[in-house]
Amino acid sequence: MLAICGIPLFFLELSLGQFSSLGPLAVWKISPLFKGAGAAMLLIVGLVAIYYNMIIAYVLFYLFASLTSNLPWEHCGNWWNTDLCLEHRASKDGNGALPLNLTSTVSPSEEYWSRYVLHIQGSRGIGSPGQIRWNLCLCLLLAWVIVFLCILKGVKSSGKVVYFTATFPYLILLMLLVRGVTLPGAWKGIQFYLTPQFHHLLSSKVWIEAALQIFYSLGVGFGGLLTFASYNTFHQNIYRDTFIVTLGNAITSILAGFAIFSVLGYMSQELGVPVDQVAKAGPGLAFVVYPQAMTMLPLSPFWSFLFFFMLLTLGLDSQFAFLETIVTAVTDEFPYYLRPKKAVFSGLICVAMYLMGLVLTTDGGMYWLVLLDDYSASFGLMVAVITTCLAVTRVYGIQRFCRDIHMMLGFKPGLYFRACWLFLSPATLLALLVYSIVKYQPSEYGSYRFPAWAELLGILMGLLSCLMIPAGMLVAVLREEGSLWEHPAQQCLPNHPLKASRFPSYRCWKQSLNSMPKGHPTCEWQGRILPRHVTHSLGEVTVPPPFPRVVAQTNPGDAVSVLPVTLEAVPEPWFSALWLLCCSGSSRPAGQP
């Protein structure tokens, strides 16, 4: 999945963002008919950001709870515990075995999570969420305040924070890995981790989860890659960066697996049960199993604090990307209104998402979080990625796109990337999409089964992002002048070259225009006389006479691009349009939208 979808789509989005210096909405100047794909990405990112920050709030809750001499989920006997609560370590017999059936008991960490943190017993289901948990509400508020302060000045501020949040987790992960593999019984967990179970390959959910894991871990399809690549310099070597990030991400995931499953093996030996009865998927692993494992270690509050601090830094990295994507995309659409007030706009986005996330802080908030997690970025995300891939390669054109990459990097993508972009990546995702629909599995949380109306709501939530694509097509067609039959064809074509956006403002265009010598029907660049018939990656264009002499001052090796500009501010009335040759050195300044 990484080779067929992850790496190629990662490079595609980086290339689009770096070449255009535009966010996920404005980048569809390459083909306005498909602007709805960018809107779908923003809707998905917005939904994910709402519940993702709730997970960060849970992490903050456990982080504060770890600042004690004894972890609160270590023992039974608290007001939230039931008669089923059993401290498994304390119930061993002399042979170190557990005489009781563990399936009929509940660990203290599980009851702490479900009955104290979530207080899920106060809800009868997703239809009756119950009261707001004010401790969770305050943790969610703190999470949004942290995110807002870190994105306050755009990538200039979030970029500095990421230097810490992206590197410090490696130090903690290394400490947890060394501690885990030195525990007795760690080899049981590692053996379970490395042993393949091929029968799971027949489950559609496994493949869907694998694809979504690639998308989540690499950021493919969420618009974040487009957004942050738009701040790169034009000649940044994103080809090298693609392999460094994707392979580094895969290696990190493997190391994290060793760190986690070595501790689970230790738990398996301590409890006398198989590893598969200890391991849990979803939030249970981070908030039930691993906290329980921490209680079995010396200095358990210290290791618990390190673990949840690592989760906090990892979660904030993703949340920064989500919010920066939304803010950048919207400000690119309304630059004159929002760019001078970007900090205020960012604050309003955070406040709105905090209010929408309050339902997740109720007694039944976990049910809503599971619903959002299952449907907000499932098939909708796949449809958006498939549409993006097909629009770039089939509509904008694979040859044009490769020439644009050649303009940036000095070479064209090889056969591997072209084959994946044209066939392998969209075909694989389409097959997974169809398979997931055929083998549809309803959502569930533990033993709770969601009612039919909740399932329908989740499906509609996923379909809403898909419907943004045809809705965007309809809007683009209706806004185009001319006959109705010509509209789709016109909207498939780029309305102007991507490279035009690398000018920071119209004032820069006007200053360049007013300083140009006129009067000669040729164009000169780097000492060469260019013909009136100019070939660009967008196709072949003819400059209408009279064609003024244009001298572009550039450095050797700089690429040029063709930009149609209407000279409303230029006093000479004898020509109405000019094909301006602009050097590629100007990029979106760091910290500026």
Q: Which residues touch 443 (CB under 8 Å, ≥6 apart)?
A: 370, 371, 374, 375, 450, 454, 455, 458
List, in sequence order, every residue forming a beta bridge with 106; answer none if it has no partner. 85
Q: Is 463 marked as a binding-site residue? A: no
Please tell me whether the peptide bond between 564 and the residue prior to it is cis, using omega within 30 degrees of 0. Answer: no
How many other CB atoms are found less than 10 A from the CB of residue 79?
6
Quick one: DSSP state of residue 544?
Answer: P
Residue 54 near residue 140 (C-beta atoms within 8 A): yes
Q: Which of 246, 295, 360 is nearest to 75 (CA)?
A: 295
Q: Is 558 marked as a binding-site residue? A: no
For residue 276, give the H/E element and its range.
helix 275-278
Q: Is 493 marked as a binding-site residue? A: no
Q: Which residues touch 115 (CB under 8 Å, ≥6 apart)?
A: 80, 81, 82, 121
Tokens 């006398």 label which residue? Answer: 272
Helix/strand/coil (H/E/C) assignment for every residue in 356-370: HHHHHHECCHHHHHH
Q: Which of 288, 421, 301 is nearest to 366 (CA)?
A: 288
Residue 461 near residue 230 (C-beta atoms within 8 A): no
Q: Is 217 marked as a binding-site residue? A: yes
Q: Which residues touch 369 (CB under 8 Å, ≥6 apart)?
A: 51, 54, 55, 360
Give the Cα separation of 457 and 368 in Å (integer).
11
For residue 555, give the H/E element and its range.
none
End-to-end CA distance of the chain: 33
Q: Is 317 marked as a binding-site residue? A: yes
Binding residue positions for Na(+): 217, 249, 314, 317-318
Binding residue positions: 217, 249, 314, 317-318
